């Protein structure tokens, strides 16, 4: 679709949000509920990025960060396999290698516990608020609060995860061990050689594309203007005060500007000298028509790091983490690895026909915490990005946290761990 004509854009806005993914639209919803007038601009289709084809699980169970003890050795081993669950494409990229070095520095018990404790509270609150929003607005998105099962074929993998159960209990995450027989009773459709599982009753799911479509319709119904196919090229700033943006060939003034454009946030931030150490973590998914015997519950196939989400309307396999920059190539090796891994666990791993093969870029920070708060040294500019693999799960809490900041009200969470200023 062609770009929006300049004369169709407003000259000014109260709050202008850059990015119409789940984070930008959620912030728009919370600010509109607080009485602010909001304009959202997106360079493409609303919800067309990482918000579209993810697995749609809402997972407080994923509170512990990707950076854990032993992860560096595991990642180095996986780098030799192009279809591994975690893959870094070898290349000369100083920003990537700096990010990886800082990520490696976080792979320790203390950092894991600190991040996990903070994220657990944030994720649980967001999960509750998302359910509230969906119920209040009657958004049709196949939301279900059924929990999720992590499935293990290897006793050693199960034992390693079981060792984390006391920590998860300490930070408020219920993780219930189940025998292989119990897993099969809870979710038929798995092969009989399942060793064990962990059931996470606090998790939920929805179909993400339908949720974002409902959220988009909802914010528009409440009076938010969302303009698609309108790229923001820079900011208007004077004496350290951001006063608007340039977009669609014109200047749009704004009282507040929110940068919520996922993996594209660093490029725009750089125009003001703002460091946002976000790397694109490429994820893949395959959506099928629903098979005749799908799992009864969302699953994580632990040894292969594959998510399985069965909805009433469809069925999705997804996950993997590939650091290959912003390459727009859909890597067939990754798709094949997902299919192959699912076939190890599921009686009917594929539906009768494929609906979509997809990839999207997750905005990954090395400390596995999102970036939420005022931009350092630039008044009037706010950041809401870096949510990694948990943008859907964290969206509502992010919106309420940032809306409180912009409104100069007490925040639901201690802002310090997520502030952009932590990067200098």
Could you tell me the domains of the chain? Answer: 6-51+210-277+368-423 (3.50.50.60)
**What letter would DSSP give residue 69?**
T
- CA 25, CA 31: separation in Å to the nearest integer? 10
CB 166 within 8 A of CB 129: no
CB 306 within 8 A of CB 300: yes
Instruction: Report the DSSP beta bridge partners of residue 309.
Output: 316
pLDDT of residue 80: 66
pLDDT of residue 43: 95
- CA 48, CA 419: separation in Å to the nearest integer? 27
Phi and psi at residue 31, in whole multiples of 5°? -70, -35
Rounded (10°) CA dihedral 42, 48, 50, 54:
150
- CA 19, CA 385: separation in Å to the nearest integer? 10
Tens-digit pLDDT profile for the chain (424 aa)?
446 666 789 999 999 999 999 999 999 999 999 999 999 999 999 999 999 999 999 999 999 999 999 888 777 777 667 777 788 877 888 999 999 999 999 999 999 999 999 999 999 999 999 999 999 999 999 999 999 999 999 999 999 999 999 999 999 999 999 999 999 999 999 999 999 999 999 999 999 999 999 999 999 999 999 999 999 999 999 999 999 999 988 999 999 999 999 999 999 999 999 999 999 999 999 999 999 999 999 999 999 999 999 999 999 999 888 888 998 999 999 999 999 999 999 999 999 999 999 999 999 999 999 999 999 999 999 999 999 999 999 999 999 999 999 999 999 999 999 999 999 7
- CA 126, CA 355: separation in Å to the nearest integer? 30
pLDDT of residue 3: 65
Handedness of CA 248, 249, 252, 257 (dihedral sign): positive
Axis crossing angle, helix 391-406 with helix 22-33, rounded to the nearest 10: 40
Residues 6+ positions from 93 with CB-CB distance below 8 Å: 325
CB 285 within 8 A of CB 358: yes
CB 183 within 8 A of CB 170: no
Using CA atoms, how far residue 165 sits from 9, 168, 241, 327, 359, in Å, is 52, 5, 47, 37, 32
């Amino acid at each position: 679709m062609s770009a929006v004509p300049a004369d169709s854009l407003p000259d000014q806005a109260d709050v202008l949000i850059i990015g119409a993914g789940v984070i930008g639209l959620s912030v728009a919803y919370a600010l509109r509920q607080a009485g602010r007038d909001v304009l959202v601009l997106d360079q493409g289709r609303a919800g067309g990025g990482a918000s579209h084809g993810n697995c749609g699980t809402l997972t407080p169970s994923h509170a512990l960060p990707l950076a854990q003890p032993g992860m560096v050795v595991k990642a180095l081993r996986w780098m030799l396999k192009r279809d591994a669950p975690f893959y870094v494409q070898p290349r000369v990229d100083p920003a990537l290698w700096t990010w990886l070095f800082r990520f490696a520095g976080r792979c320790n018990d203390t950092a894991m516990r600190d991040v996990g404790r903070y994220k657990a509270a944030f994720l649980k609150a967001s999960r509750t608020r998302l359910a509230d929003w969906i119920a209040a607005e009657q958004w049709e998105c196949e939301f279900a609060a059924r929990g999720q099962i992590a499935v293990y074929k290897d006793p050693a993998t199960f034992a390693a995860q079981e060792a984390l159960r006391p920590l998860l209990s300490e930070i408020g995450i219920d993780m219930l061990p189940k025998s292989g027989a119990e897993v099969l009773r809870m979710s038929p459709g798995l092969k009989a050689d399942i060793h064990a599982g962990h059931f996470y009753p606090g998790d939920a799911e929805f179909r993400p594309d339908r949720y974002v479509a409902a959220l988009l319709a909802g914010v528009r119904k409440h009076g938010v203007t969302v303009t698609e196919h309108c790229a923001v090229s820079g900011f208007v700033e004077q004496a350290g005060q951001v006063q608007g943006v340039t977009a669609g060939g014109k200047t749009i003034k704004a009282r507040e500007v929110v940068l919520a454009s996922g993996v594209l946030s660093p490029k725009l931030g750089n125009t003001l000298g703002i460091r946002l150490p976000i790397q694109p973590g490429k994820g893949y998914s395959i959506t099928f028509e629903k098979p005749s015997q799908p799992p009864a519950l969302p699953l994580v196939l632990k040894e292969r790091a594959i998510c399985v989400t069965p909805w009433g309307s469809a069925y999705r396999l997804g996950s993997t983490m590939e650091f290959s920059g912003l390459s727009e190539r859909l890597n067939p090796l990754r798709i094949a690895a997902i299919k192959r891994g699912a076939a190890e666990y599921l009686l009917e791993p594929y539906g009768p026909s494929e609906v979509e093969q997809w990839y999207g870029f997750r905005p990954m920070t090395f400390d596995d915490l999102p970036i939420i708060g005022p931009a350092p040294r630039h008044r009037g500019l706010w950041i809401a990005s870096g949510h990694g693999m948990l943008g859907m799960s964290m969206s509502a809490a992010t919106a309420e946290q940032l809306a409180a900041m912009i409104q100069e009200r007490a925040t639901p969470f201690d802002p310090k761990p997520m502030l952009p200023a932590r990067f200098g």
